[in-house]
Structure 1
Amino acid sequence: MNPAAAPAPTRVLLVEDDLRVARVNRDLLERDPDVHVVGSAATCAQADALARALTPDLILLDVHLPDGSGLGLLRHWRAQGLTTDVALITAADDEASVRLALAHGAFDYLIKPFTGARLNDLLARHRARHHAEAGRVDQGRLDQGRLDRLLGLGPTLPSLPRGIDPNTLERVAQALRDAPHPVSAEDIGEQVSLSRVTAWRYLEHLVRSGAAQLDHQYGQAGRPAKLYRRSDRPAGQPTDQP
């Protein structure tokens, strides 16, 4: 199988008035090679201009900004028809702010200080939603599986074993969902730029979690080949395999 084109990086706009915090968040984001911070804004006015000029995939937005509230800016964007994923990253931990953010269409809400793992989870779920949107067919209609992924309800693993990165796991799972027929670990590794052994480890994890199924191809000399396909079982239902 020929390697598929590498996925485009997730283009992120940071909106944070504390320059030190902005640098820390940028460093955290760009540890992921599939993330590119395309701009940084310190005010509502700058954020509004950059969001329109740069058309990022994801906006990480603070609430307390020198010239206004990030919540007001989010409301303005939604009223203007901007549907970009927006996640609040803020020290505002009161319930009213959280409810307003969600009511105005915030994709996620992180309370400072947050962990790198929680930020990785945000990125993985954004990618899952992005893949679901890119997979729309039939004049914009969605089947239930794509809709569930768009809503962040796809197969998720709340507690990942050591060595399983959520972003890489989502890339492997998406490649498997897109495969028209059962594929080998080598096939998946070529598609998502992983070694065969690493791809095999992620595929075996998906099998154990119920998100993939394992087939054996017999009839050849030596050991039977292992082929993987997306699971027909409900998401999150584990297999009986050890």
Structure 2
Amino acid sequence: MTPSAGNSSVRVLLVEDDLRVARVNRDLLERDPEVHVVGSAATCAQGDALAQALQPDLILLDVHLPDGSGLGLLRHWRGQGRTTDVALITAADDEASVRLALAHGAFDYLIKPFTGLRLAEVVARHRARRLSAAGGVPRLDQASLDRLLGVTPATTSTLPRGIDPHTLERVALALAEADGAVSAEEIGERVGLSRVTAWRYLEHLVREGQAQLDHQYGQAGRPAKLYRHTGPSASTAP
């Protein structure tokens, strides 16, 4: 099953032999109401079977499993032509494991322990890659390819102080996926930021012409500030 470009729902398969860690990761992921953990496997064999049966959008894969290596399972999937986004989540912190994972097509690599925010970043990058890959365009320019690969352009070094390029990408993506104008508080809840931090990033997008500011009148006190993506809504993308 291939998710549509306008569908921000993410179906996740966990392959993790530590049941406590799997439960914690599930709880962290499902803080986002549009992320659904559709299966959990404790071995390579179970992970392979569930990947075939469930066709998840995103697989979070441990390296050290009772019946083999997650790296071998990843290599097996790529050999079969399976292009599902796979992120390694593991205590394996040696450079050789990281290089093998990337060589076999892992799009991200998290070393335990990690923060909930870093795990949310995996989902955000998956969504961004999915949107970049959608649309049926036969050829890619370099900017589009960089977005698909998750490469941060060198021009981000000119961002104002206090504006992180990865956080900016997540805020811009959340705004593009929103149905109409939204508040800084709503974007903050979606991305995992405080209202003030989300507001700062949204104001930067307004200054760059990537968002527009609307005011909601008719209520007591100051008018509410609402932000709208200036391009086509992600929910209406072809």
- TM-score (normalised: structure 1): 0.70
Task: Give 5+ residue unaligned stretches, structure 2.
Answer: 188-197, 215-226, 232-238
| Identity across the alignment (%) | 68
Distance change (3 Å), C-alpha of 1:159 and 1:112: farther
Q: What is the SS of the residue equivalent to 1:205?
A: helix
- Does 2:174 align with 1:171? yes
Q: What is the SS of the residue equivalent to 1:121?
A: helix
Distance in 1 (CA, whole Å) between partners of 2:162 and 2:135 is 27
Distance in 2 (CA, whole Å) between partners of 1:30 and 1:166 is 21
Distance change (3 Å), C-alpha of 1:50 and 1:101: same
Contact 2:12 2:58 in 1 (8 A): yes
Task: Give 5+ residue unaligned stretches, structure 1.
Answer: 176-188, 217-225, 231-242
- Superposition RMSD in Å: 3.4
The answer for the alignment partner of 2:41 in structure 1 is 41
Give the number of the structure with larger relative contact order, counting CA–CA contacts within 8 Å between residues 6 or more apart. 2
Q: After superposition, what is the alpha-carbon deviation per residue over 1:168-202, rounded to whole angstroms, capped at 9, x for unaligned?
A: 54221x35xxxxxxxxxxxxx5348x448756946
Q: What is the SS of the residue equivalent to 1:190?
A: coil
Distance in 2 (CA, whole Å) between partners of 1:149 and 1:123 is 15
Q: What is the SS of the residue equivalent to 2:151?
A: coil
The answer for the alignment partner of 1:220 in structure 2 is none
The answer for the alignment partner of 1:22 in structure 2 is 22
The answer for the alignment partner of 1:236 in structure 2 is none
The answer for the alignment partner of 2:218 in structure 1 is none
The answer for the alignment partner of 1:145 in structure 2 is 143
Distance change (3 Å), C-alpha of 1:215 and 1:110: closer
Deviation at residue 123 of structure 1 after TM alignment: 1.3
Contact 1:41 1:50 in 2 (8 A): yes
Number of residue pairs matched by the alignment: 198
Amino acid across the alignment from 2:205? L
Q: After superposition, what is the alpha-carbon deviation per residue over 1:112-145, rounded to whole angstroms, capped at 9, x for unaligned?
A: 00011211211111110010111332xx322333
- TM-score (normalised: structure 2): 0.71
Distance in 1 (CA, whole Å) between partners of 2:99 and 2:116 is 24
Deviation at residue 152 of structure 1 after TM alignment: 1.1
**Greater Rg, structure 1 or structure 2?**
1
